[in-house]
Amino acid sequence: MEKERKKQIIKLCVAIVAFAIIIILVATIMIRYEVEGDKNLPFNLSKIILISTAEGNENKKDEEKSSKRWSFDVEQNNDMYLYIDKNENYHGDEKTIKSVVIENINITQAPQKGEIKVYMPNSTKGRVFENSEDYLVEEKLEYKGATESNPQTLEIGRNGGSSLIRFSNVGIGKYTSNKDKEITHDGTLLKKLKVTNDEAKFSVSFDLVITVENCKYRANISMQMPCGDITEEGTCSLEKTDMSDIIFKRERL
């Protein structure tokens, strides 16, 4: 009887240890997933390019009233290009992109001067972006999967492509002058307004959602803008290829 009772205690202890090991393994996997995200994506965010500059937009009403040679509102623009490519190491059924969505856009650090607005690409021929109320992004910007990428029609290639979005400081200041013979429409306009890079600096965050058949992958991206010293260089660019800080997690549709 005593021997049987000891056997039962041993079995119970083994079961408890096995259960504890399973719990530890599951917790480890869950923690690792939270930290590293999903590593087996059919598509990868391979590159982010950010181009920062500034330009002046003439106000016709102000132009009619003013005797100044130059009179325009200065806007500091940051154009972001997100490149999504097929993952050659993906293990699973062949997938195609159904959509790519930029949503949950937040200004996490506002600039000291100005107001941030977000724009989608221009739908007409000519300039890629136009800071017009017609192209404001309110809640989200969605690119549909298509044969190839076309920013004018908000389409991205089903087998990979690029999506574009603009973050602009549209209220950074107004420049008027009758002394300058020529004006260069770039970041050096900020210096003419006596606005520093630190005063124009702001940070944004947003979710990038890649949807394929049966599931979608979501990652949060944070960026500081403008990149570089645009008051001196005029136009600056940043190319980000290290995506170790961008964690994608799978969501069921």
139-191 pLDDT, tens digit per residue, is 899 999 999 999 999 999 999 999 999 999 998 988 887 776 777 888 999 99
pTM of the predicted model as reported, rounded to 2 decimal places: 0.83
Q: What is the pLDDT of residue 177?
A: 77
pLDDT at 71: 83
pLDDT tens digit sequence for 21-74: 555 444 444 444 444 446 689 999 999 999 999 998 876 555 444 555 778 899
Which stretches does DSSP call E strand in the chain? 43-58, 70-86, 99-109, 116-119, 140-146, 155-157, 160-177, 202-212, 215-225, 236-240, 249-252
Which is more confident, 185 or 238?
A: 238
Backbone angle region of 188, left / alpha / beta, with phi > 0 → left and psi within -120 to 50 → alpha: alpha
Residues 186-207: what's their mean pLDDT? 94
- Confidence bin at 11 (pLDDT 50/70/90): low
User: Shortest CA distance to 131 belongs to which of 79, 88, 93?
Assistant: 79
Residue-level pLDDT at 199:
95
64-114: pLDDT as tens digits: 445 557 788 999 999 999 999 999 988 888 899 999 999 999 999 999 999
Taking only the tens place, the pLDDT of each residue in 210-224 is 999 989 999 999 999
Position 25 scores a pLDDT of: 47
Residues 95, 210: contact at Cβ < 8 Å? no
pLDDT at 32: 45
DSSP-assigned states of every residue in 180-242: -S----STHHHHHTT--HHHH-EEEEEEEEEEETTEEEEEEEEEEES-S-HHHHSSEEEEE--
Average pLDDT, integer, range 227-239: 94
